[in-house]
């Protein structure tokens, strides 16, 4: 009797295990559609997942996402998992990919479907603050890379999904997703060493945020640069962006903080100097955080497929090719594809199937050959 009482007391008083990155908070079945009006249901098992991750500054957070698993048995052994990082959706929760997939308005499902047809499970993060309380830390690459890696960890822990922690893993993304994929590649050895990462494909990568912001300043796509300012300010409180804005800047960026990507067009043609009396990009606090979020300083340990549209009007080709050069100098097994696409979006359309074919070969266990 005494021993039983002591056992009960030990169970009651034992401290709860602290949550670790990738732990699942909740996973509820959901349905995803290819077309609005809930038309063309994607025939997969799907879950809306809340999981633990880590912010850019190292604090624990909770991120949402969607896990898609084909219903058919995978014929080649352990089913691979692809962490799919979406491109820019916006800053408001209504823009989250988990929301757009459930409503049948997620354009990137066309590419995701190619992965599903190969029998791969796909984990799609919403990123920090997009679909969960708090602001979206848009373009804070370290946070985004961790969210991608933890979405894969979480996928292996969703009850009923049938996925193994020993599954071969790949990561893919374009634009914002390309940066997220690049950061996942760089962070994985130290942050998620247990994941059996085989390869990463990253397209249209905004590897150098300072260079991209300078390029967008005053152009048609300035709204993306402004949104990145809002996102980085959310990730790094010491930036205190609001204090450095004029009244016009505060009003415009407050509006952008809840906007989807299509609504950022209203900022077209503006410059940072229209929003602030100070040189924002020249401030030491901004230069430090932009440098911290610059890809290329750490060499990924897996093969990387980089692709970029030669006519990219948003992310200059020079930014993508500079990342290629840095990885090549560091000894990374890089496959580079300069695409004839005339603009940024077309680069995703042309490069996506190439990236998926290349990733599939790595997941099947075939070696990669670079072209540095």
Both 150 and 235 in a single domain? no
Residue 15 included in any domain: no
Domain at 268, CATH number: 1.10.260.130
pLDDT of residue 16: 54
Domain end among 291, 314, 344: 291
Q: What is the DSSP string of 329-359?
A: HTT--EEEEEE--SSHHHHHHHHHHHHHHHH
Both 275 and 219 in a single domain? yes
Indicate the length of the chain as a whole number: 372
Both 66 and 140 in a single domain? yes
Domain end among 265, 291, 317: 291
Over the stretch 139-172, which tens digit does the pLDDT of each residue have?
999 999 999 999 999 999 999 999 999 999 999 9
| Percentage of the chain lying above the pLDDT 90 cut | 94
| Percentage of the chain lying above the pLDDT 70 cut | 95
pLDDT of residue 18: 74
Residue 7 or 184, more confident: 184
Both 287 and 314 in a single domain? no
Q: Do residues 360 and 118 make contact, with C-beta atoms less than 8 angstroms apart?
A: yes
Domain at 157, CATH number: 3.40.50.1820
Residues in Cβ contact with 173 at an 8 Å cutoff, skipping those fewer than 6 apart: 84, 85, 86, 87, 148, 179, 180, 181, 201, 202, 203
Both 85 and 201 in a single domain? yes
Both 152 and 248 in a single domain? no
Over the stretch 236-290, which tens digit does the pLDDT of each residue have?
999 999 999 999 999 999 999 999 999 999 999 999 999 999 999 999 999 999 9
Q: How far apart are the first and last CA of the chain?
A: 71
Residue 4 included in any domain: no
Domain tally for the chain? 2
User: In whole angstroms, what is the distance from residue 89 CA to residue 95 CA?
Assistant: 6
Both 48 and 116 in a single domain? yes
Residue 19 included in any domain: no
Residue 123 included in any domain: yes
CA distances from 164 to 48, 158, 167 (A): 19, 10, 5
Both 54 and 190 in a single domain? yes
Domain end among 272, 291, 310: 291
Residue in the structure block whose two tokens are 């634009």: 175
Q: How confident is the model at residue 38 (pLDDT cuts 50, 70, 90)?
A: confident
Residue 12 has pLDDT above 50, yes or no: no
pLDDT, mean of residues 111-119: 98
Residue 37 included in any domain: yes
User: Could you tell me the two tokens for 279?
Assistant: 């040189």
Residue 190 included in any domain: yes
Range of the domain at 285: 209-291
Both 150 and 172 in a single domain? yes
- For the beta carbon of residue 285, count every other beta carbon within 10 angstroms: 13
Both 176 and 216 in a single domain? no
Over the stretch 71-87, which tens digit does the pLDDT of each residue have?
999 999 999 999 999 99
Residue 2 included in any domain: no
Both 184 and 213 in a single domain? no
Residue 334 included in any domain: yes
Both 186 and 248 in a single domain? no
Over the stretch 24-33, which tens digit does the pLDDT of each residue have?
999 999 999 9
H or E element in which residue 288 lies: helix 284-292
Q: Do residues 122 and 115 make contact, with C-beta atoms less than 8 angstroms apart?
A: yes
Over the stretch 179-224, which tens digit does the pLDDT of each residue have?
999 999 999 999 999 999 999 999 999 999 999 999 999 999 999 9
User: In whole angstroms, what is the distance from residue 196 CA to residue 81 CA?
Assistant: 10
């Amino acid at each position: 009797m005494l021993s039983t009482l002591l056992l009960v007391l030990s169970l009651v008083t034992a401290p709860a295990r602290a949550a670790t990155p990738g732990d699942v908070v909740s996973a509820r079945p959901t349905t995803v559609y290819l077309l609005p009006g809930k038309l063309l249901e994607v025939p997969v098992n799907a879950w809306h997942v809340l999981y633990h991750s880590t912010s850019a500054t190292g604090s624990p957070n909770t991120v949402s996402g969607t896990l898609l698993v084909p219903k058919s048995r995978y014929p080649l052994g352990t089913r691979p998992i692809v962490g799919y990082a979406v491109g820019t959706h916006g800053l408001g929760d209504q823009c989250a990919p988990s929301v757009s997939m459930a409503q049948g308005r997620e354009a990137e499902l066309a590419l995701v479907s190619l992965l599903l047809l190969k029998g791969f499970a796909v984990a799609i993060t919403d990123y920090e603050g997009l679909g969960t309380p708090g602001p979206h830390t848009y373009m804070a690459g370290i946070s985004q890379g961790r969210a991608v890696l933890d979405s894969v960890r979480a996928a292996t822990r969703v009850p009923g999904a049938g996925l193994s922690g020993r599954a071969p893993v790949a990561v893919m993304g374009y634009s914002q997703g390309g940066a997220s994929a690049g950061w996942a590649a760089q962070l994985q050895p130290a942050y998620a060493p247990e994941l059996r990462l085989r390869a990463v494909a990253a397209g249209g990568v905004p590897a150098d945020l300072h260079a991209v912001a300078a390029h967008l300043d005053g152009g048609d796509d300035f709204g993306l640069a402004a949104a990145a300012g809002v996102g980085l300010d959310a990730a790094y409180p010491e930036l205190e962006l609001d204090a450095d804005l004029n009244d016009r800047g505060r009003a415009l960026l407050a509006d952008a903080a809840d906007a989807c990507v299509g609504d950022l067009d209203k900022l077209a043609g503006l410059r940072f100097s229209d929003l602030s009396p100070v040189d924002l990009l020249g401030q030491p606090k901004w230069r430090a955080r932009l440098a911290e979020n610059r890809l290329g300083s750490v060499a990924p340990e897996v093969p990387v497929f980089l692709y970029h549209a030669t006519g990219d009007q948003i992310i200059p080709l020079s930014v993508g090719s500079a990342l290629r050069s840095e990885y090549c100098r560091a000894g990374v097994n890089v496959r580079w594809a300069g695409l004839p696409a005339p603009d940024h979006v077309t680069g995703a359309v042309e490069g996506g199937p190439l990236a998926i074919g290349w990733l599939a070969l790595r997941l099947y266990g075939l070696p990669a050959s670079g072209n540095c």
